[in-house]
Amino acid sequence: MKVGIIGAGHIGGGIARQLAGAGHELMLAFSRDQETLRALAASIGLAVTVGTPAEAVAFGEVVVISVPWPVLPEALPQLGSLAGKIVIDTTNQFGAPQPPEGRTAAQFNAERMTGARYTKSFNTLTAAFQAQTATRTGDDRVVQWLCGDDAEAKSIVAGLITDAGFVPIDLGGTADASVMEAPRRAGAVYGEEYRAAEATAVADAVAEGKPIPATPTYQ
């Protein structure tokens, strides 16, 4: 697929490397240092180019938004129309503005990204851990949680998560996203390693409106 990546820092840059390695075409955008962005693109390979935020959105069948939370008000107006675009939001709500009381960060951002086919993923694990574990195989593969209100968009994003080296686990709609959102805390999956067997039990608990099982530990 063609994927536009807005914000190629630690998380966005890692996603770029993983998806390029799986054969996808990428365009990177949104950096205060364009030379660094060009160097990253060159280091990844020929299937990676650099453009403006609006060009990356126009290029991508899928758009990854991976800028720091406080930068979103600056970045979003530069994207142009997101109507009909599948979006993967990797951000976490550290900083202002905060979502209104009773709304998840996913709901808040979906509303700010007008017309997008919004999903949220790649936000619960550090960039270093994602890079370290993306090459695992079999039952040792690490989960990337996924939420969104568009089933077809989630199916496409789940395929990209698999291509990036992880196991996609759907936690439901944006209203269910709090369990995968910052901060790290009891009763949430944010900041924790999960594998498929234990993650499926979490998804079942969320779907049933029950507390999630205790966080697993792995050797």
CA distance 115 to 95: 24
pLDDT at 73: 97
pLDDT at 98: 97
CA distance 166 to 102: 30
At 216, phi and psi to the nearest 5?
Answer: -75, 160
pTM over 0.95: yes
82 DSSP assignment: -
CA distance 102 to 123: 20
Q: Which residues contact residue 161 at a Cβ distance below 8 angstroms, ignoring those fewer than 6 apart?
A: 121, 122, 144, 146, 167, 168
User: Residue 13 corresponds to which tokens in the numbers above?
Assistant: 């840059």
CA distance 208 to 210: 5
**Local confidence pLDDT in tens for the 219 residues of the chain:** 999 999 989 999 999 999 999 999 999 999 888 899 999 999 999 899 999 999 999 999 999 999 999 999 999 999 999 999 999 999 999 999 999 999 999 999 999 999 999 999 999 999 999 999 999 999 999 999 999 999 999 999 999 999 999 999 999 999 999 999 999 999 999 999 999 999 999 999 999 999 999 999 998
Q: Which residues contact residue 127 at a Cβ distance below 8 angstroms, ignoring those fewer than 6 apart?
A: 9, 10, 11, 13, 14
DSSP 146-191: EEES-HHHHHHHHHHHHHTTSEEEEEESGGGGGGGSSS--TT--TT
Crossing angle of helices 34-44 and 10-21, in 10° steps, is: 30
Burial 146-167 (b: 16+ CB within 10 A, else e): bbbbbeebbebbbebbeebbbb
Q: Is 91 helix (H, G, I), strand (E, B) or coil?
A: coil
- Lookup result for tokens 């409106």: 209
pLDDT at 33: 86
